[in-house]
């Protein structure tokens, strides 16, 4: 299979940097045998990316655009709403250290997946919630987790989940200045995510690997929890 950022028609051009500003890992390296990838959209990609790069076992993250029709879109084009893309985070992780279930837990808990083409103060199709997977197992886990989270949300009075869940969507790297934005000097501390303070429990196929001490670092009752946290990855032990 082609990497997620390469389209069958020749591939995405990108000005993205070579290495991750926090993790120091390559942004475009081929997946190793024990690594996997998935793409998540949960509002403005600045805060979403930081939430994911802090998880132990995450090898690399990058922000970009996916789920649309236009090849190699720019930020301005995506913001126009005419390309069909949403702001996303591509996550690469180590399979021995982290399960897809752990990533799904962070995804569902870090934003409100019932808001449609909006997240908080950010409105437009480019802010819709989405999960894009690259193998059948991950697709089934995403759907199962959605169903379980819907039950939990409904019990709290929330409406229907609007998250788009699709397979094999091309990822286009966002511009250099967006990558790991919140870790860069002078960045504007901004995050549009609206966590529901609803936790994702066990669901069909779930196999959580991260301990409670990791999840204690994400306190969704604190406004803009991700912004207030350290940039460095959460340490185990």
* Catalytic residue (choose from 42, 44, 191, 225): 44
Among residues 120, 44, 114, 107, which one has the least CA distance to residue 79? 44
CA–CA distance, 166 with 168 (Å, rounded to integer) = 7
Among residues 124, 132, 128, which one has the least CA distance to residue 104? 132
Q: What single DSSP character describes residue 229?
A: S
Q: Which residues, 6+ apart, have CB-to-CB distance to 223 below 8 Å? A: none
Among residues 87, 73, 104, which one has the least CA distance to residue 179? 87
Cβ atoms of 93 and 58 within 8 Å: the answer is yes
What phi and psi values does residue 235 have, to the nearest 5 degrees? -85, 140
User: What is the β-pairing status of strands 164-167 and 130-133?
Assistant: parallel
Place of tokens 């569902």: 108
Q: Which residues, 6+ apart, have CB-to-CB distance to 138 below 8 Å? A: 36, 38, 100
Instruction: Reply yes or no on whether 44 is catalytic.
Output: yes
Question: How far is the CA of 2 from the CAs of 5, 58, 68, 151, 229, in angstroms?
Answer: 8, 21, 18, 36, 35
Instruction: Enumerate the active-site residues.
Output: 44
């Amino acid at each position: 299979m082609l990497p997620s950022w390469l389209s069958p028609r020749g591939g995405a051009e990108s000005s993205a940097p070579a290495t991750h500003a926090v993790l120091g890992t390559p942004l475009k390296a081929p997946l190793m045998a024990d690594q996997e990838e998935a793409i998540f959209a949960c509002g403005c990609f600045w805060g979403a990316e930081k939430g994911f790069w802090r998880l132990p076992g995450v090898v690399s993250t990058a922000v970009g655009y996916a789920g649309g029709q236009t090849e190699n879109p720019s930020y301005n084009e995506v913001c126009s709403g005419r390309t069909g893309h949403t702001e996303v985070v591509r996550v690469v992780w180590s399979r021995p250290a982290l399960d897809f279930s752990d990533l799904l837990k962070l995804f569902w808990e870090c934003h409100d997946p019932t808001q449609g083409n909006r997240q908080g103060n950010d409105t437009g199709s480019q802010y819709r919630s989405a999960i894009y997977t690259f193998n059948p197992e991950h697709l089934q886990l995403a759907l199962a987790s959605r169903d379980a989270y819907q039950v939990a949300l409904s019990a709290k009075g929330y409406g229907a989940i609007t998250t788009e869940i699709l397979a094999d969507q091309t990822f286009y790297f966002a511009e250099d200045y967006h990558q790991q934005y919140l870790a860069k000097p002078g960045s504007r501390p901004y995050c549009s995510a609206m966590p529901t303070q609803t936790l994702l429990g066990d669901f069909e196929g779930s196999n959580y690997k991260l301990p409670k001490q990791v999840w204690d670092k994400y306190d969704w009752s604190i406004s803009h929890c991700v912004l207030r946290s350290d940039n460095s990855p959460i340490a185990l032990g």
